[in-house]
Amino acid sequence: MPVSKPSQAFTDAEILRLARPGIQALKPYVPGRSIEDVRAQYNPKRIVKLGSNENPLGANPNVLKAVAKAMPRVSLYPDGSNREVRKALAAAYKVNPEQVMVGNGSDEVLLMLALAFVKPGERVIVSENTFSEYEFSGRVLDGKIVKVPLRNFRYDLTGFEKTLKLKPKMMFLCNPNNPTGNHFTHKELESLLRKAPRQCLVVVDEAYADYSTAKDFPHCLELMKRYPNLIVSRTFSKLYGLAGLRLGYGIGDAAIIRETLRVKTPFNLNLLVQTAALTALKDKAFVRRSLSVNQKGKKQLEAGFKKLGLFFLPTEANFICFRVPRPAVELCEDLMKRGMIMRPLKSFGLPDWCRVTIGTAEQNRFFLQELKSVL
């Protein structure tokens, strides 16, 4: 048999011919800067990270103990159906386990929904100035993305209603919105659902909903009983402090969930993640403490912004979005030199805005002190 000769690496032109058409339009997700990045680049004496909306209390100690106890079993495969986690979530939300799906972060839940239902050329409606993974999930399936602008920095659900004439297959909505922190109401969502046909799936990402205290925040589980095309996704990354373990979940009509699970990869939740989830759901004290720290920190930061004369948006999440008087990327770079990490919002289409995670009282003091210095 002839032996193939060594050849040069693929050229860009060859790769373009090999790759699936359209994926060049996909924009890589831009994460917040890490502590390791900042230490390697600037090596400040102290580093406080308030850039990625993580829980400032860190991981739940009870979860860490449970995960450590489960470590000897990592040579065994986990439950591929995630039965116990789904049962525990179903009990928490008073739904059937068949209505629950879990994923490697809510990112995977959103992508699985698109994989299961979006066909090439079908329209996917998203908002401008929001989490980029909604557009990614639609575009990676060759869906046609339609963007609805924010109105006064809020989701414009009337604008979403107007897109129904385009016969979309799926809508992605973020509530509260990342990065603006504000919310749309129960009445607004119900109006959209009332007009949307059954074949248009309305996916509401409630990653930050646990932090909301708004009385008019949507009761999606109630709406789901009348509108089976409504699906909600949530996460353990924020309130439960498990961002590094990656665990998200979706709740919806049992038939929708069943079809979506057809595209699930085997063992998408590892054994340690499943252990962490079951432990975290039982620990109500950690949740109460996290919510309390967030409420106190929100008041502290709002008072600080007012004192500095900075315009900010009222928030229902665990972060605050605020405008700065010079390019946000430059300002955030200056802060990182001083050991303070927050998020410039250029990648969200808001070049003069920043987003800061609500931290502990001490973290917030450090942030406001360093922000004043660079301003």
Task: Indicate the average pLDDT of the chain.
Answer: 96
| pLDDT > 90? residue 1 | no
DSSP string, 248-291: EEEE--HHHHHHHGGGPPTT-S-HHHHHHHHHHHH-HHHHHHHH
Q: Would you say 219 and 204 are in contact if contact means Cβ atoms under 8 Å apart?
A: no
- How far apart, in whole angstroms, are the C-alpha atoms of residue 319 and residue 293? 12
Kind of pairing between the strands at 100-103 and 319-323? unpaired
Hey, is 216 helix, strand or coil?
coil
CA distance 67 to 74: 10
Q: Is the pLDDT of residue 142 over 90?
A: yes
Least confident of 3-7, 27-31, 179-183, 296-300: 3-7
pLDDT, tens only, 190-210: 999 999 999 999 999 999 999
SS3 (DSSP) at 330:
helix
3-state secondary structure (DSSP) of residue 209? helix
Q: How many other β-carbons are positioned within 10 Å of the β-carbon of residue 225?
A: 10
DSSP secondary structure code for residue 210 in this structure: G
Cβ atoms of 29 and 136 closer than 8 Å: yes
Bridge partners of 99? none
How far, CA to CA in Å, does 218 sit from each of 129, 212, 316?
21, 10, 13
Per-residue confidence band for 182, with pLDDT thresholds at 50, 70 and 90: very high
Q: Quick one: pLDDT band at residue 160, thresholds 50, 70, 90? A: very high
For 96-108, what is the mean pLDDT? 97
